[in-house]
Each structure stands twice: as C-alpha cells, then as structure tokens.
Structure 1
Amino acid sequence: MTMATKNETSFIGYDYQNVIVKCSMESVYTDGYTIFGWVLEETSNTISNLGSVIMKFKRDCNIRNKDELIQLQRQFEVCMSEIETMESSKATGAVVGAYLMSVIGTVSLAGSVFTYRVEVLPLSLILSVSGLACWIIPIFHYWGNRKRKMNRLVPLINQKYDEIFWTFDKANALLTE
C-alpha cells in the first residue's frame, strides 16, 4: 500500500507494510526491516494470535535501489520463516514420541485391569509393570530426543542467521551508495 504526504516544500510518498511476528522474534524483525529502509511506526498485540505482535512499517517509496532491497527483504523473510520452523520443530518429535509411549502405557494398564478381573494374575502384573514403565520412560525419552534435535538444529539455525547478516550487509551497502 502506498500513501503520500505533502509538505510545504516537497512531496513524499510512503509504502506501508504490516507484519505479524512472534514476540520472541520482534527485535530481529525490527532490525531487519530497518536495514531495508523501513521505519517502525507502531506495534500492537494481536487478538487472534496469542504470542504474536503486529508491526507497522513505512518507507519512502522513492528509496534508492528499491528493487534490490525488495529482493534482499524477501530473502530475509524466507530465512526468518525457516528459522521459526526449525525453532518450533525442536520439541515436536520428542513430544510425539512421548505421547505415543504414554498411550501405550495407558493401554497396557487398561489391559492389566481387565486381565486382573478375569483372574490372570501373572499377565496382569506384567501389563501393569510395563504400563507404569511406559508412563515413566517418556520423560527421559522427551529430554533425550529434544537435546539431540537441538544439537542438530543449532548449527543450521546459526547458518541461517549468518545468511541474514550477509543480506543485512548487502542492503546496508545499497542504502549507503
């Protein structure tokens, strides 16, 4: 969206952009969009998306090297999207595995109760012990898998941040020409 203001001496047109980001990434987006020539006008909390913020930016529509800046900005947005995806996937696999083991434990305990009622005591004991184990083991399973996943993802996330800083350098060079 483009809008214009008129001063007594000159006419300045502005481009406007609203961006919805997670609160934890707000400062990175503020720094990023500033590098691409945007000025942060205001931020406001979203009603429908808890933990997110609406950031409102404006930029002079006659900025130098606008096409190149737009291309670099898109590259920045793609990198940020990939970082957010990697951040959210850190615990996803561990949570799914822990839930599945807990469900198996619950089914095993239910089987233990049913076998106890029909007086098959040895099978009932085996099922109850395995059910309780399947309730305790997911705790350690979750933390172990989460740590392994984090160790794998942290270098990739850092690589994406390096790519973002490279785009910042390119954009800064375009703005200071």
Structure 2
Amino acid sequence: MDSITAAAFAASADAEPATPSFTAREYATVRVPARHEQLHRDTYSAFGWTVEAWDGPAASIVPRTTTSTLTLTRDRALRGRQALGELQRQAEGALRRIDALERSRSARATAVAVALGLVGAAFLAGSVFLLDDGPSFVSIGLGVNGLALWALAWPAHRLTAARRAAQVAPLLDRQYDAVYDACERAAALTR
C-alpha cells in the first residue's frame, strides 16, 4: 500500500460510522388511462408522491395498452397527511369523471353508428332473401336503403360526436378546475 492510500484508509477507520437515517415511506400502485398519464403524474406529485416506475405506452416504443401503471412513493412524515388524503380523494374522483366524460363522447356516437349499421344490415338481408323469387322493386329498394344506412353511419357518428363534445366541454372544464383546485390546496399544505 502506498502512503496516500494508507493515510486515506487510516482516516476513514478513525471516522465515526455514519448513523443510518430511516425514512418511513408509503407506496401506491395506480392504473391510469394512458392518454391522461401526464395529468395523473402532475396531480400525484402535488400530493407529495414521486413516480418510481411506470408501465404503459409511454414506457415502451410501441403502445400495447390503453392504461398505464404508476408506482408511487412518498414520505409518511408529510405534514397534513389527513387533509392531503381528503384532497387526493377529491382529485381522484374528478379524474375518474374526466375519463368517463371523455369516453361518453365516443360511446354515444359509436352506438348511433352501430345502430344504423345493424338496421342497414337487416335491410340488406331482407333484400337478399327476396332475391330468391327473382329481382323485384322491393328487393332493390331494401338493398338501396340498407346501403344508404351504411353510408350514413359515418356522418352520423361524426355529427353525434361533435354534439356530445359540445355538451361535455363545460362539464370537463369543471372537473379539470376541481383537479387543479385540489392540487393547489395540496401544494400549499406540503410547503
């Protein structure tokens, strides 16, 4: 051993051992919609949580799922944990309502388009069954109506989605405001 290494070893042996510091932590795992992953990350960070790991479309090159799993940790000695828990529940409720409102925009439009498609398919089936007796005006009329309903499904979907989006927009704004308000109040508690 050279003299520099020996001196460093002797100095480290004389030093008192560092007292281990312990921090009690709490852990949570949350599944969130992938399209709102960043909103959930920001919301949970306002409540003192740190994202330790995540599994979802943002973590991979090719999106495989529509949900992400966030693994969260935070210090248990956080001031105002009881009030933070209540604010967090309020924010999580608003986040769930945001997801439900956004899904309702496309769900209603999809239901209208599927209904038109099924009625159109019924008309086409009736047209095909009437073809057994030979082509007739009723058969042709049913076939044209069935194809017209199929053609109307896409514009009806777009129109219904646009109407529902206009209805849902103010409700979504209220829910986003509720999330932001809870986050601001939580951030004030954790300072």
The 5-angstrom pairing of residues 141-156 of structure 1 reads 141-156=156-171
Q: Say yes or no: does 1:18 pair with 2:29.
A: yes
Q: Distance in 1 between matches of 2:44 and 2:186?
A: 10
The structure with the larger Rg is 2
In structure 1, what residue type is equivalent to 2:102? E
Counterpart selection for 2:49 from 38, 56, 61:
38
Q: Deviations over 1:52-79 (max 9, x none)?
A: 2211111111110000000000111100
Q: Say yes or no: does 1:112 pair with 2:127.
A: yes
In structure 2, what residue type is equivalent to 1:145? T
Q: Which runs of 5+ in 1 are unaligned?
A: 1-6
Count of residues paired in the alignment: 168
Q: Deviations over 1:115-148 (max 9, x none)?
A: 2221361211221111111111111110000100
State, as a whole percentage, how many aligned pairs show the same letter: 29
TM-score, normalized by length of structure 2? 0.82
2:52 and 2:71 in contact (8 A); partners too: yes
In structure 2, what residue type is equivalent to 1:147? A
Structure 1 residue aligned with 2:11: none
* RMSD of aligned alpha carbons: 1.7
Structure 2 residue aligned with 1:55: 70
In structure 2, what residue type is equivalent to 1:173? A
Counterpart selection for 1:134 from 149, 156, 162:
149
TM-score, normalized by length of structure 1? 0.89
Kindly state the Cα deviation for residue 170 of structure 1 after the two structures are TM-superposed. 0.8
Q: Distance in 1 between matches of 2:21 and 2:147?
A: 76
Structure 2 residue aligned with 1:79: 94
Structure with the higher fraction of residues in helix conformation: 2
Q: Distance in 1 between matches of 2:180 and 2:188?
A: 12
* Partner-residue secondary structure (3-state), 1:161: helix
Counterpart selection for 2:187 from 169, 172, 177:
172
Structure 1 residue aligned with 2:113: 98
Structure 1 residue aligned with 2:83: 68
